[in-house]
Amino acid sequence: NNSKYLEDALASCMLQTYKDFKIYIIDDNSKENIYKVVKKFENALNICYVKNEVNFGPAKSRNIGIEMGMGELISFLDSDDVWDENKLMNSVNIFYLDKKVGMTCGNYRVWVNRQRVKPPFYSRNIDVNFETLKRVNFVASGSVTVRRAVLDDVGLFNENYIIAEDYDLW
């Protein structure tokens, strides 16, 4: 039920400097007319729209999109988030420079009432690893790009979780 923000999210996709991507919009049985917003972008973006018959929650909805996709790399963008115009280009470049990289994530900023942007969440570089993640989830879903092979190896989002499904996967 975030149609009022979805337009901003899709507009940020249009502005990406990296253009070779497909968008899977999984409408988790919203009460709003999400497809009305999607239609505005259909000619400009490569979009696949799916409406769940019931509300499954974020984990299963994300898994549906992952399973539908065919790409080697998967990025996440929630309907109330926006990407920096170089988000995909920066992520893709890291994967092509180092074949050992399985996942990228980056800094992010929070909008306050969609009017003011807070400073970046990280004030310094952080080594995101298992030990640091046990203390704090430094990984914002919308900043993540992951190799499909990694998800094939470790599994997808745990559908038993209503919250923190992303934290569990990272």
* Between 161 and 117, residue with greater pLDDT: 161
Residue 122 has pLDDT above 90, yes or no: no
- Rounded to whole angstroms, how far apart are CA atoms 169 and 92? 20
Length of the chain: 170
Averaged pLDDT of the chain: 94
Spatial neighbors of 162 by CB under 8 A, at least 6 apart, are 57, 58, 59
Q: What share of the chain is helix, strand, coil (3-state, %, to 5)?
A: 35, 15, 50
Contact 73, 101 (CB under 8 A): no
Instruction: State residue 3's pLDDT score.
Output: 87
**Residue 146: predicted pLDDT:** 98
Q: What's the rounded Cα separation, in Å, for the pair 133 and 65? A: 25
Q: Is the pLDDT of residue 101 over 90?
A: yes
- pTM equals 0.92
Residue 129: predicted pLDDT: 87
Q: How far, in Å, CA of 78 to CA of 143, rounded?
A: 10
